[in-house]
Structure 1
Amino acid sequence: MKLFSAIISTAFSQSCTGSESFDDAVTTCSPNQMTIEIPACAFANARMDAAGAYLAGVDFGELVADVENNCTGTFDAGSDNWVFTLSNDISECGSLVENNGTFVTYSNAVQSTVGTENKIITRKRDMKVGFSCAFPLEVTLSAANAINPVLTHFELDLGSEEGVFDVQMGLYSDASFATVVDSTFTVNIPDDLHVAIGITDETDMVTVLETCWATPDSDPANPTQYTFLENKCGSHDEVNVYQSLDVQANGLDRISTFSIESFNFQGEEGGDIFLHCDVQICDPNQESCVPDCSSVGARKRRSASSDEHVLVVLGPIFVGGPK
């Protein structure tokens, strides 16, 4: 027993209190990544081998590395956590994928088995810590419906604040952002599209628009896309060449807003567009959340370093041809 404890103690620097458990694990979801962080002390307290743990689905299975992910964890000395991450193809490593028509949910589990056995007795012990991420499906509504402001539900744990929040993206009638438009709203090039993205709950957290882009359908990965906000600032062309984008608020409050002149994709004279934004959730009491966009294209002050992201979508918005 002492030998086991000595081996485990070399894996991390933190002194365990004995109260740490797998219930202290934190899950983070972002558009192309899902991560679970488990305290090293939780493994030590349970006498489980963290280095031998892996992802293989919600049920016990064998470790099989995939193309994008090796399905094993890495130790973060800064936090004394073991970090298990699925990136790009989060369906790998045996993830269970469920689609209920509204959300698509990816579920997996960190698992490990330690101990020995013989024909008569066993000292084998199993460990499994499940986690999941749910993402809203982006469905095109018929013309009879209102413009679809998808409400994105996510769990937040930044250390300073945790809970369940909703983020919504809406289209408004003007730059006062007082009235949300419905399906009767019409816009023709170059009428402005006034968009607000915000946390619907009361909170000290603020939204930071990391990247915003448009597509001709609800698929955010459609190869036909136009990015008009990147690196937390309006794109160079939109701000300096066309002068067609005004970001009124970003990183200032729980609601961020922008106005952009409407457009069609090449080859269309009137048609639907969908707007997508990758939004960071930032704690202004812990870090700088307001991006420095004084010189688009120049090196910007590091801000909003939180790993909490949520992808929001708005559409379909019918844009008619030029007036």
Structure 2
Amino acid sequence: MYDPLRRPEIVLSIQTCFATDSPDFSDMNKLHNLIASMCTHPDDETVQILENGVSDRARFSFKMFRFTESFSYIYLHCEVKVCNSTAETCVGSQGLCHGGEWERKKRSAEEAAPSPGDTQQFISRGPLIAYMQENAGEGRVQVESNQNHPLY
């Protein structure tokens, strides 16, 4: 069915994604980088970008972890952008994915606050709770969220 409002050049792009022990994305007391500059972060080789900057959804996977301290919860925070793929770079390229600036810089709440018309926003999900299944000896992840949006 033809949708006149659907524009295939308008895509969703994950710019950065990281995990913290806090539901507040600007609280970076404990931080684990997953995606930076639209590319997998070199500190975590388990991250796989499944879809990014090519459609109206973005997906990635990673092996669940726990922070070395005994934090009960992990929260995912991703900076996503609604991107025009014909006018701007919406997907990381291999040439740009290595050797770039990987350090996550702390930002003040004013810098991180979205401005009207901005196509780049932070979304957060969690808490994610990692637990071991007793019989199988394998890790499982439980997502608890009161938001009505799926975790992709």
Normalised by the shorter chain, which TM-score bucket?
Answer: 0.5 to 0.7
2:14 aligns with one of 205, 209, 234:
209
1:286 lines up with 2:97 in the alignment: no
1:221 lines up with 2:26 in the alignment: yes
Q: Deviations over 1:257-284 (max 9, x none)?
A: 000000111122x721110000121112
SS at match of 2:43: helix
2:42 aligns with one of 215, 220, 236:
236
Q: Deviations over 1:164-188 (max 9, x none)?
A: xxxxxxxxxxxxxxxxxxxxxxxxx
- Deviation >6 Å, runs of 4+: none
Q: Percent of counterpart pairs with the same letter?
A: 23
Task: Please state which structure has a larger fraction of its residues in helix.
Answer: 1
Task: Please state which structure has a larger fraction of its residues in strand.
Answer: 1
CA contact (8 A) 1:246 1:260 kept: yes
SS at match of 1:261: coil
Tell me which structure has the larger Cα radius of gyration: 1
Q: Which residue of structure 1 aligns with residue 67 of structure 2?
A: 265
Q: Which residue of structure 2 aligns with residue 309 of structure 1?
A: 120
- TM-score after normalising by structure 1: 0.32
Q: Which residue of structure 1 aligns with residue 141 of structure 2?
A: none
- Within 5 Å, give how 1:1-323 maps onto structure 2: 202-204=6-8, 205-222=10-27, 223-238=29-44, 243-268=45-70, 271-293=72-94, 296-298=97-99, 308-320=119-131, 323=138
CA contact (8 A) 1:271 1:320 kept: no
| CA distance in 1: counterparts of 2:94 and 2:60, whole angstroms | 14
| CA distance in 2: counterparts of 1:288 and 1:229, whole angstroms | 16
Aligned residues: 112
Kindly state the Cα deviation for residue 294 of structure 1 after the two structures are TM-superposed. 5.2
SS at match of 1:314: strand
Alignment RMSD:
2.5
| CA distance in 1: counterparts of 2:7 and 2:73, whole angstroms | 34
- TM-score after normalising by structure 2: 0.64
| CA distance in 1: counterparts of 2:87 and 2:78, whole angstroms | 23
Q: Deviations over 1:13-56 (max 9, x none)?
A: xxxxxxxxxxxxxxxxxxxxxxxxxxxxxxxxxxxxxxxxxxxx
| CA distance in 2: counterparts of 1:276 and 1:293, whole angstroms | 23
Unaligned runs of 5+ in 2: 101-117, 139-152
